[in-house]
Chain A
């Protein structure tokens, strides 16, 4: 094989190769100037990214933003128009998929229907002509890692969706890829299995110290699983940041719009709420950064230290979302989303209630675009 994957990666103790968000390292992934067009329509362009060895990166974006095509280009399944892909020091831009040392987990599993679980997992090792005894040992090991030892003799059709995706993961892991790519691997599964498998994937990835690129359109999934999230929109990476930064400091309108139920206001519209004129074109206010008071009493606990001026508003709609209530409040002919903690049914405000709205000034995000 063209790459020297650490042979002991699978046997190393869990947690021994933790993700370090520093750039560099033997299996670091470097993307520079990647671009791809279908006919004349750009699918993605100006993709620049440095992903450290062992880092878990999520490519998050709406469908059609180019994230899956980008992943396929890294795998060598789609040809690039421009740019370079490097793993560690090696340029893999021109290598065929067979020689890239890249593993991939597909959205719909892509398991070979004519082979058992063990046969599917062994496939990559057979292609590498790994000797039978060694092959059986490594297959057994990986199948145990994904907790499918009892199912090893079954065919994919006899397994549930979650089990199939674990087989697909095992099949990709057993050849010890330098980079693992996952294309919406959880989106075909139901919610409970999705949560469980999500945690399992993260745990295995961490214990093996695998450089991983994970594509999803589900922001909750992205925020919970990743070291860093790359937010993609219309073929470009808008922001590369930790989940926390991404949520609390979106870089522009599109990022804020995708990340949650932000209230996006033009600077003049926001002025009465902030009490000053923002220097930025727009400001973003998360629904939980706004506070409601009725007859001088603030809802949902103690107000924060730096509050903007109180503005009169009217409750137009209220929806119960689990333990929070989301109100739609009309203030100065604007419609704002405001979340409050739902303590009890009695504290819920009826539609038409007159309230005062105040913004937490420490949570105001100023956007350039």
Chain B
């Protein structure tokens, strides 16, 4: 190897590279590619089906079209279900915010023990499956003075428990991050009443936290099926119940519906995540 001698670099250390670490990243990449493919498969198939004019006898779809989406968006029953889902979600979010925000503020300002309690309480909605809760809710609110089953009201009230864990954590965290107690005291020393201090000082500062809580809870609620189907069903058909009732329809049509629902969820989580990305930077400025 005469030419090697003339090189300025005396020791090309290729040997340990080949033996040691440099072959392994490719196997890691393979694992990740496999997992990505596995997770993407149902989504890609559904998207393909929603955009295909026909996809039966062939390996790949025949012809692309937006016809299924156009048909979906011209269907009155879908639009009505969309409206109902929005109505219930917005109602539930407004109710949750009104119920949870005072508790979060009190826990972060006056009663530190309350925060401890709340962190335990908010595990309950996780621990009890919705099917189990439904059994009790159906019996408790099916008749008598509080006849809520079959009306949108029971969903608005029950969805509060779904939004609770996430909303409380997010609000409590953003309150803790800004040191509410000192800010409230400072505002009051400058002559603001506690209520004015809250609305003028605290609320604007936790706006990002409130927005994250709202967007992400929104995406849970739009995707909720168990309570909607068991407590109300077709009497006030939401998007998820509508999708379930469309099982007899064309697969292309339901695919377009699935993709639409998924896009709505993604947009909501994206809006929430965008807020989450902004908050730390704003705080550090």
What are the interface flags for A69-83 relative to B under an 8 Å C-beta threshold, 1 for contact and 0 otherwise? 000000000011111
Are B16 and A84 interface neighbours, CB within 8 A? no
Residue from B11, B16, B17 in contact with A83 in the complex, judged by beta carbons closer than 8 Å: B11
Are A84 and B20 interface neighbours, CB within 8 A? no
Residue from A81, A82, A84, A94 in contact with B15 in the complex, judged by beta carbons closer than 8 Å: A94
On chain A, the residues within 8 Å of B15 by CB distance are 94
* Contact count A vs B, C-beta below 8 Å: 22
What are the interface flags for B15-28 relative to A under an 8 Å C-beta threshold, 1 for contact and 0 otherwise? 11100100000000
On chain B, the residues within 8 Å of A81 by CB distance are 9, 13
Are B17 and A82 interface neighbours, CB within 8 A? no
B10 within 8 A of A: yes
A304 within 8 A of B: no
Q: How many residues of B contact A (CB 8 A)?
A: 8
Could you tell me the distance in whole angstroms from the C-beta of B181 to the nearest C-beta in chain A?
32
Residue from A79, A84, A93, A96 in contact with B17 in the complex, judged by beta carbons closer than 8 Å: A79
A33 within 8 A of B: yes
Could you tell me the distance in whole angstroms from the C-beta of A220 to the nearest C-beta in chain B?
35
Are A33 and B10 interface neighbours, CB within 8 A? yes
A175 and B17 CA atoms in complex are apart in Å by 27
Are A94 and B10 interface neighbours, CB within 8 A? no
A94 and B10 CA atoms in complex are apart in Å by 15
On chain B, the residues within 8 Å of A83 by CB distance are 11
Are B9 and A82 interface neighbours, CB within 8 A? yes
What are the interface flags for A207-220 relative to B under an 8 Å C-beta threshold, 1 for contact and 0 otherwise? 00000000000000
**Can you name the residue of chain B whose Cβ is closest to the Cβ of A95?**
B16
On chain B, the residues within 8 Å of A33 by CB distance are 10-11
On chain A, the residues within 8 Å of B11 by CB distance are 33, 82-84, 93
On chain A, the residues within 8 Å of B10 by CB distance are 33, 82
On chain A, the residues within 8 Å of B13 by CB distance are 79-82, 93-94
A79 and B15 CA atoms in complex are apart in Å by 11
Instruction: Kindly identify, within residues 105 to 136 of chain A, every residue whose CB is under 8 Å from any CB belonging to chain B.
Output: none
Could you tell me the distance in whole angstroms from the C-beta of B24 to the nearest C-beta in chain A?
13
On chain A, the residues within 8 Å of B9 by CB distance are 81-82
On chain B, the residues within 8 Å of A79 by CB distance are 13, 16-17, 20
What are the interface flags for B177-217 relative to A under an 8 Å C-beta threshold, 1 for contact and 0 otherwise? 00000000000000000000000000000000000000000
Interface residues of chain A, those whose CB is within 8 Å of chain B, are: 33, 79-84, 93-94, 96
Q: Besides the contacts A80-B13, A82-B10, A96-B20, what 8 more A-B pairs have beta carbons closer than 8 Å?
A: A79-B20, A81-B13, A82-B11, A83-B11, A84-B11, A94-B13, A94-B16, A96-B16
Interface residues of chain B, those whose CB is within 8 Å of chain A, are: 9-11, 13, 15-17, 20
Interface pairs (22), CB distance under 8 Å? A33-B10, A33-B11, A79-B13, A79-B16, A79-B17, A79-B20, A80-B13, A81-B9, A81-B13, A82-B9, A82-B10, A82-B11, A82-B13, A83-B11, A84-B11, A93-B11, A93-B13, A94-B13, A94-B15, A94-B16, A96-B16, A96-B20
Question: 8 shortest A-B CB distances, which residue pairs?
Answer: A82-B11, A94-B16, A94-B15, A80-B13, A82-B9, A79-B16, A79-B17, A83-B11
